[in-house]
Amino acid sequence: MEKSSEKIENNEIKEDLKNIENIAFIDINGAKIAIELLDSQKYENVEAIPIRTDFFGKKDFITLKKGYEMGLVEIKELDHSTVNTVSCKNDSVVPLILIDGDEITGAMQNRIINDTLLIPAKSTINIHVSCTEHGRWHTRGEGESSRSFKPSLYSANHSTRSRKSRASYEERDYQGEVWDSISEFESRSNFKSMTSALNDSYENLKDKQNDYLSKFHIEDGQNGVIFIVNGEIKGLELFYNHSIYKQYHEKLCRSYIIEAIVEKKSVDNIDRLELMNVLENISDSEFKSLKSIGLGDNIKFSNDFGSGSGLIWEDELIHMTFFKDFVINEVII
């Protein structure tokens, strides 16, 4: 009996050690989080590591897609249209969550959301955006409805978001970075959109994306993911809760998969210790915090690996992204 009890105890110790090895503790400008790394999912040159945290957000938010489908959310051009600002109306009884990099299509030209925002219930706010369709500045229809946007199936691709994140932290104008990134992606993928629309690049590679996409599934309780492409850590995406993450899972996967298709290389397995070090070093980043135009505070941060951003409201982390700096010819962009 003693040997049996000892065996059970040893197994429990091993399981505890295994759990410890798979948990990273990070501090996001005062918001302390334990991140559990779940079993990785791999296909070709992409590895996705599902993550879940020790917090389970209870607040109710409505996403852009759901709000649009229910007729409760409208994003449209200002009366006097300008590239980097649009109007957002939230007629829901709960805050609307808008995610950094999420694309909206239509109106005068396609745009992406610049920062993660919480738009208060029953309010209208002008929000900052970046253009992802350099070659169009006109509506594709008549009447007031032609000046409104609809949610895209896509988010900005990883390299565009990474470059925008770095420029934002350094307080540089990043509209040019977004346009340059889209143009360079077109060159890398040997494709040219008639209007330099990022959305067109996604559509061009949609079938190949779908081959990858079917291999990455959502785990129980998952509220984030780490993406590794060609054996390199590319980004961390973390959401307030499982419910919100589920609605963005496919978009996030596509934003990394599309890069993997274009830059396909032989894959080396990444060392788990290296991954944990990258996560835990986030705590040592240089942080900047500023009042959001919606609810809460937007944070920007940077370290030797990359840069990130997020939103904190009432001491809770609502959303966070962290990207490895995008490099072209050994030059950080």
Give residue 275's domain range. Answer: 26-332
Is it the case that residue 18 has pLDDT exceeding 60?
no
Decide if 155 is inside a domain: yes
pLDDT of 13 higher than 90: no
Q: What is the mean pLDDT of the chain?
A: 91
**Tally of domains within the chain:** 1
d(CA 284, CA 100): 23
Residue, of 147 and 55, whose pLDDT is higher: 147
**Of the listed ranges 235-244, 265-274, 283-292, the one predicted with least confidence:** 265-274
- The answer to whether position 142 is within a domain reads yes
Identity of residue 113: I
Q: Which one, of 101, 329, 330, 325, lies nearest residue 232 by Cα? A: 325
Q: Is residue 1 included in any domain, yes or no?
A: no
Distances (CA, A) of 140 to 89, 136, 148, 179: 22, 10, 11, 21
Q: pLDDT of 221-261, one tens digit each?
A: 999 999 999 999 999 999 999 999 999 999 999 999 999 99
Residue 2: inside a domain: no
Structure tokens at 32: 């302390």
* Predicted model pTM: 0.90
pLDDT at 267: 74
Residue 6 in any domain: the answer is no
Band of pLDDT at residue 54, cut at 50, 70 and 90: confident
- The 3-state DSSP class for residue 69 equals helix
* pLDDT for residue 333: 53
Query: Tokens 């994003």 map to which residue?
Result: 75
As a whole number, mean pLDDT of residues 35-48 equals 95
Torsion from C-alpha of 128, 134, 138, 143, nearest 10 degrees: -40
What per-residue confidence (pLDDT) applies to 327? 58
Q: Quick one: tokens of 140?
A: 């594709």
Count of CB atoms within 10 A of residue 332's CB? Answer: 12
Residue 19 pLDDT: 58
The tens digit of pLDDT for each residue in 151-202 reads 999 999 999 999 999 999 999 989 999 999 999 999 999 999 999 999 999 9
* pLDDT tens-digit map of 84-126: 999 999 999 999 999 999 999 999 999 999 999 999 999 999 9
Our measurement of the distance from residue 330's CA atom to the centroid of its chain's CA atoms, rounded to an integer in Å, reads: 24
Q: What's phi and psi for 202, nearest 5 deg?
A: -60, -45
**252 found inside a domain:** yes
Does residue 16 lie within any of the structural domains?
no
Share above pLDDT 90 across residues of the chain, in percent, rounded to a whole number: 79
Residue 3 lies in a domain: no
Distance, in Å, from the CA atom of 229 to the CA atom of 240, rounded to the nearest integer, reads: 25
